[in-house]
Amino acid sequence: MALASNKTMDALKGIGLNLYERKLWVALLARGTSTAGELSEIANVPRSRSYDILQSLAEKGFVIAQPSKPLRYVAIQPKEALERAKKKLEENMRSTLDRMDDLKASPVIKELSEIHSKGLNIVSPEEITGALKGKYSVMQQIGSMIKTANKKINIVTTAEGLNDLYENHMNELKKASERGVRVQIAASGAEKVADAIKSLTSVAEVRTLNAKDMPIAGRFTVVDGKELVFSLTDHKVHDTQHMAFWSRSEHAAGNLMDPLFKMIWENSKRV
């Protein structure tokens, strides 16, 4: 008989515990204290795997290992275990972020950048192309493009997209504008998001599309005529279901999307 409901097991999966970790932790909670061998039988987890998994749970803060022979494990009250695991995760994250910052400021980043630049020289445009899934990934890619823009950023979007730009990329757009990048945004339904418009007009030229003359409700971003992100889904889909096409193709960005943007821009009006 299962020790915990499917709902509980799914909730534990949601915080990052794999199947064997979930089974062994719940089994230990039911026993209070036990050996790896005993828990492997209760939880139906291979004995050869149980030692490493319990050690992993101990490192994460979910259980305590007793230095006895044989090694025994003690269950921690669930709320306390989750709090310990949370603090451990935060510590690990801070440590990782610090190492990333150190790496960015070290000579190593120069070497990695040179390797990347050389690699780009030997690939064809279709190889520097991909699909982005999930709103977070799409926003990250657009943010990266804005940060590296040198001359111009052309954006066609919706009212919802204007809010996304305001909430996620305002600082990046401001910095781009300050270094001389021309930012142009054409949006459908712009009148619906007055607060976003008010802020964005301080860093960009913003125009609204006439639904009758230019019935466009899509979203795309083109930077320097060299790189683009083109949304493939409507804003109504769940954040995890957002899909976009990304390419670093000068042909697609400069010869196709830039002229399209120019046509849209010329048929829009100032907000």
Residue pair 54/63 in contact (Cβ under 8 Å)? The answer is: yes
Residues sharing a CB contact under 8 Å with residue 271, sequence separation 6 or more, in sequence order: 190, 191, 197, 201, 206, 207, 208
What pLDDT, on the 0 to 100 scale, is given for residue 145? 93
Q: Which two tokens stand for residue 181?
A: 């990048």
What pLDDT, on the 0 to 100 scale, is given for residue 1? 46
Cα Rg of the chain, angstroms? 26
Average pLDDT on 42-71 reads 90
Greater confidence (120 vs 161) lies with: 161
| Threshold 0.75, pTM exceeds | no
Same fold, 6-76 and 126-270: no
- Please write the tens of the pLDDT for every residue from 57-94: 998 889 998 887 888 999 989 999 999 889 988 988 99
Looking at the domain covering 6-76, what would its CATH class be?
Answer: mainly alpha
Calculate what percentage of the chain has a pLDDT beyond 90: 54
Looking at the domain covering 126-270, what would its CATH class be?
Answer: alpha beta
The residues spanned by each domain of the chain are 6-76, 126-270
Residues sharing a CB contact under 8 Å with residue 254, sequence separation 6 or more, in sequence order: 225, 226
Of 3-12, 106-115, 254-263, give the lowest mean pLDDT range.
106-115
What is the spatial distance between Cα 252 and Cα 240, in angstroms, rounded to a whole number? 27
22, 33, 86, 234 from 92: Cα distances, Å: 21, 27, 10, 37
Torsion sign (Cα): 192, 194, 196, 198: positive
**Is the model's pLDDT at 2 over the cut of 80?**
no
